[in-house]
Structure 1
Amino acid sequence: MSNRSPFVDQVVAHLNRVTPVTARFMFGGYGLFVESVMIALIADDVLYFKVDDQNREDYIAAGSEPFTYHGKGKPIQMSYYRLPGEVFDNLEQLVQWVEAAQAAAARSKSKSKSKRKKSS
């Protein structure tokens, strides 16, 4: 029996129709992972997907908002945007948006690896 919210269980089950996804509790929410790469997060029962310069415009065009939290006295915006409900409900579209989030996460991960190598 899961201690997670029903929303998290529902999202994980639905995304598993597209690709194997696991959820890990982190910072009061959940990180969603595909092959150990975080592609999405859930905070306050809202699903956000990883974005970068190559897929951010799709979210903006759909009217989505970025994940923002308050830290150090000011709002901090992360590179995750709310997944539009109509995309979540359409498996064909969802596959494309999951793949784009995976690609954004992979690019982000490779950028952070190259930054660490440069600072060594």
Structure 2
Amino acid sequence: MAVDAGLVAWVTEALETVGSVTMRRMMGGATLYMDGAAFAIVTSDGVLRFKADAENDALWDAAGCERFSYEFANGRIGTMNYRRAPEDLYDDADALREWAAPAIAAGQRAPKKKPKKR
């Protein structure tokens, strides 16, 4: 499946007042960055998921936003620190900005990846 370009455009437009959103395609989906820090992913099924961490997990839990999980070929289940976005933000820019804020903060808190040695 292709990345939902309309969803990426909506997020980018809604967050223009917050900062610059960029995208990098990954494994059938896309990672969204705010000023260089990963804050969300759009999965291949067109679902927006926001970055979570120990500081904001309780917020996502209280809202019933499940953790992103996937199945490996061998049947093992893996998870990532991304939570499904609440349904009400898909047509409400204010709600999108409100829910994106803790995800952006989590992205900024995340340890920076070290450059690969050559």
Alpha-carbon offset, residue 20 of structure 1: 1.9
Q: What per-residue deviation string (whole Å, max 9, x for no partner) do you get for residues 68-90 of structure 1?
A: 11225211110000111224525
Which has the larger share of helix? Answer: 1
CA contact (8 A) 1:8 1:45 kept: no
Question: Whole-Å Cα distance in 2 between the matches of residues 101 and 35 of structure 1?
Answer: 13
Structure 1 counterpart of 2:48 = 47
Give the % identical residues: 34
**Is 1:81 paired with 2:83?**
yes
CA contact (8 A) 2:14 2:96 kept: no
Question: Whole-Å Cα distance in 1 between the matches of residues 46 and 24 of structure 2?
Answer: 14
User: How many correspondences in the alignment?
Assistant: 110
Secondary structure at the aligned position of 2:54 is classed as coil
Alpha-carbon offset, residue 10 of structure 1: 2.4
Alpha-carbon offset, residue 53 of structure 1: 1.2
Structure 2 counterpart of 1:57 = 58
Structure 1 counterpart of 2:36 = 36
Q: Note closer, same or farther for the CA distance 1:24–1:18 as it changes in structure 2 (3 Å cut).
A: same
Alpha-carbon offset, residue 26 of structure 1: 1.1
Query: Where does structure 2 lack aligned partners over 5 or more consecutive residues?
Result: none
Normalised by the length of structure 2, the TM-score is 0.76
**Is 1:103 paired with 2:105?**
yes
Secondary structure at the aligned position of 1:59 is classed as helix
Query: Where does structure 1 lack aligned partners over 5 or more consecutive residues?
Result: 114-120
Alpha-carbon offset, residue 27 of structure 1: 1.4
Question: Whole-Å Cα distance in 2 between the matches of residues 87 and 62 of structure 1?
Answer: 13
Question: Whole-Å Cα distance in 2 between the matches of residues 85 and 61 of structure 1?
Answer: 14
Q: Note closer, same or farther for the CA distance 1:7–1:98 as it changes in structure 2 (3 Å cut).
A: closer
Normalised by the length of structure 1, the TM-score is 0.75
Alpha-carbon offset, residue 63 of structure 1: 1.2
Question: Whole-Å Cα distance in 1 between the matches of residues 78 and 86 of structure 2?
Answer: 21
